[in-house]
Amino acid sequence: MSSSERRFRALAAGLSLAGASAVAAFGLTQASAQLAAPVALAGVGGAVTLAAALAGKRKRPLAMGLVLVGTAVVVGTLHETASTRAGVLAIAGAVLFCSAELADLSLAYGRQVEYRRGVRRFNPAGILGVAVASGAASYGAASTRGLVAGGGPAALAGGTVAAVLVVILARTLLRGRVT
Amino acid sequence: MSEPAATPKVVTYAALTGIGLLAAVVFGDGAIVALAAPFGFALVLGLLAPVDPLPEIHLALDALRLVEGGRATIALELSATSRVSRCDIALALPAALAAEVPTAWSLRLDPGSPVVIEVPITAASYGRFVVGPARAHVSGLFGMLSRAGEGGTLELEVRPKAEALRTLVRARDVRATAGDRLARRPGDGIEFAEVRPYAAGTPGRLNWRMTARRGEPYVNLRHPERSTDLILLVDTFSASALPRQVRAASGLAAAYLSRHDRVGLVAFGGVLHWVEPAMGRAQLERVVAALTTTEWHHSYAWKSAETIPSRALPRTGLVIAISPLEDPRLLNALATIRARGVDLAVIEPTGPRRAASSAATRSVAGRIIDLERAEMRLGFGRRGVPIVAWQDGDSLEAPLAALAVWRRQARGRGAR
């Protein structure tokens, strides 16, 4: 593996770990005093598992690390209002998805490969597109739920815009066939 | 064209999505779905998006036969009928063929414009190798689906690098056919031997001057040029010394065949194979081809000289055994061959020359092994079988010269 490959791999792994750790830390800061200990345990455990998977080049523990970090943020935001919590979890989900993709990308670089001209190593637009689309869908769903619960025209408008955004992004991704 | 197959990532993302949905249902908290939603989105998009087709792969080599250390170029041609945005190609190469460039590529292919990748390789060791296959892998969106295929294999024969030899060991007996060796018995030939008084049946021409001077007939005797048989006995019981043995045998075969001798080969080890003695360029091809495929095979089965066919080991001619003399089966076979009266000489490949360690620093076991081996060498020497060491890194000329000296001295002592 060349030095540029090694740098690329380290950068992807570092970004992945930083994203997951940020989500875990956010969950811990939002946690109430009674739940701080289990949230900290889940968050730190998740980050450590993720780091171990990246260092050991093993894909299986990645999912376990993501589940633990997700648990930390879910438990940590229990006392928030429903709408705030939906938004926070949507953002956390998007960040964790980006972390998972970066970790997968990092683990894919294990040997000496020559990249010919015209080949895209990875597609950040695709990853971010799905993350944003997912967040928008979540927001749309939450707004629609608010409408059903008597949330008014604002909820309807928000939900519609979010749904349209999701459709456009999904269509763009499918047409572009990005890898 | 292979159908797209789901990758392990599908299972992982499905599991993450499922865990999120299950948690939402179990805890009655719909917000948890938002956490797992991106993984579900990616999964659905990845499964719906089409996967590019695999390219056609064609492999070619500019040489199908090399000598150790030789270089060749593998040409890998990839062509696609439709656009492939990213294709990962990996070429499988045996460890003995060292590539000077990476053997894995990630590239984009457009229809109608094939891509040719050239891979220069160097043959580090002899043998018969399979180059390829080239494995192609095309992933779909987010790596959820992929197509994998392989294509193109080639065979490459790398022959052992033989040393050009000038010093050769003379066989005790010669054959009746013409060759480059001077027979010891006088006869019809070119090389002058001696002048003798004529006796009935003495070959040669009358020496008129000597006859006139002495008053009785004298004849000029000449050495006839005859060919000999050489049998190369390669010990394949030992894996570590085998490459050196094969190279030495290859060099000896080439040198003797160039002098119009008959050369045969016996590879004696876990698997026995042989080439019957013959002469000419075709025989050199046969011997070198057999040496190229000579391998070490582990075996506990007892092997003796009786397993070697008599036509592969004629009683006349010279047998040069190349062996580290470690396996008792080979030692027994050598003793049996010598007991049949066969002219036998042994070249023993040894490690690199080292400074002699003092008796105090050597273990008792090491000294006992040395004594046993010295005793074994002396035993063979008493039977008229010279054993000469061939140090790693030295030319084969050195042990051949030592063999020639030993045999000359033995002839002086009257040994047969």
Q: Which domain holds residue B282?
A: 226-412
Predicted pLDDT of residue B1: 60
The token pair that represents B71 in the structure block: 């270089």
**pLDDT (tens digit, 9 = 90+) per residue, A66-75?**
999 999 999 9
Q: How many domains would you assign to chain B?
A: 4
With beta carbons under 8 A apart, name residues in chain A contacting B30. Answer: 86, 141, 145
Surface-to-core class of residue A82, CB atoms within 10 Å of its CB (0-12 exposed, 13-18 middle, 19+ buried)? middle
Residues B141 and B192 in one domain: no
Residues A81 and A50 in one domain: yes
Q: Is residue B78 part of a domain?
A: yes
Average pLDDT per 10 consecutive residues for chain B, totaling 416 residues: 85 89 82 87 88 92 91 93 90 91 90 91 93 90 90 90 86 68 68 82 83 90 79 92 93 92 92 91 94 88 86 88 92 93 92 61 82 91 92 91 88 64
A142 contacts B34? CB cut-off 8 A? yes
Place of tokens 């007996």: B173
Of A122, A138, A156, the position where a domain reaches its end is: A122
Question: Per-residue pLDDT averaged across A134-157, rounded?
Answer: 64
B38 contacts A85? CB cut-off 8 A? no
How is residue B113 annotated by DSSP?
Answer: B
Q: Is residue B169 part of a domain?
A: no
The structure's pTM equals 0.72
Q: What is the CA radius of gyration of chain A?
A: 19
Residues B368 and B243 in one domain: yes
B31 contacts A82? CB cut-off 8 A? yes
Residues A1 and A79 in one domain: yes
Work out the pLDDT band at A179, boundaries 50, 70, 90. Answer: very low
Q: Which of A7-16, A77-86, B398-407 has the lowest mean pLDDT?
A: A77-86
Residues A111 and A27 in one domain: yes
Q: Is residue B379 part of a domain?
A: yes
Residues with Cβ < 8 Å from B322, sequence gap 6 or more? B232, B233, B234, B235, B245, B248, B249, B346, B347, B349
d(CA B54, CA B64) in angstroms, rounded, equals 28
A119 contacts B141? CB cut-off 8 A? no
Surface-to-core class of residue B394, CB atoms within 10 Å of its CB (0-12 exposed, 13-18 middle, 19+ buried)? middle
Residues B353 and B212 in one domain: no
Predicted pLDDT of residue A2: 67
Q: Do B57 and B134 touch, CB atoms closer than 8 A?
A: yes
B108: nearest CB among A97, A111, A116: A116
- Taking CA–CA distances from A101, the nearest residue in chain B reads B142
Q: Which domain holds residue A20?
A: 1-122
Predicted pLDDT of residue B176: 62
Residues A141 and A116 in one domain: no
Q: Is residue B165 part of a domain?
A: no
Predicted pLDDT of residue B75: 94
Which letter, b or e, does each residue of B251-274 get, where b requires 16 or more Cβ atoms within 10 Å of its Cβ?
bbbbbbbeebbbbbbbbbbbebeb
Predicted pLDDT of residue B291: 94
Predicted pLDDT of residue A138: 74
Residues A40 and A108 in one domain: yes
Q: Is residue B86 part of a domain?
A: yes
Residues B299 and B193 in one domain: no
Residue by residue, DSSP assigns B163-191 as PP----PPPSS--SSEEEEEPSS-BS-SE
B85: nearest CB among A73, A117, A177: A177
B107: nearest CB among A119, A130, A145: A119
Residues with Cβ < 8 Å from B274, sequence gap 6 or more? B264, B265, B266, B267, B308, B309, B312
**pLDDT (tens digit, 9 = 90+) per residue, A26-60?**
888 888 888 889 899 999 999 999 999 888 888 88
Q: How many CB atoms lie within 10 A of CB B386?
A: 21
Residues A84 and A138 in one domain: no
Q: Do B237 and B327 touch, CB atoms closer than 8 A?
A: yes
Residues B240 and B370 in one domain: yes
A126 contacts B108? CB cut-off 8 A? no
Place of tokens 């057999």: B290
Q: What is the CA radius of gyration of chain B?
A: 34
Residues B120 and B62 in one domain: yes
Q: How many domains would you assign to chain A?
A: 2
Residues B205 and B234 in one domain: no
The CATH number linked to B131 is 2.60.40.10
Residues A84 and A6 in one domain: yes
Strand B262-268 versus strand B191-197 pairing type: unpaired
With beta carbons under 8 A apart, name residues in chain B contacting A65. Answer: none
Residues A145 and A102 in one domain: no
Residues B254 and B386 in one domain: yes
d(CA B303, CA B270) in angstroms, rounded, equals 8
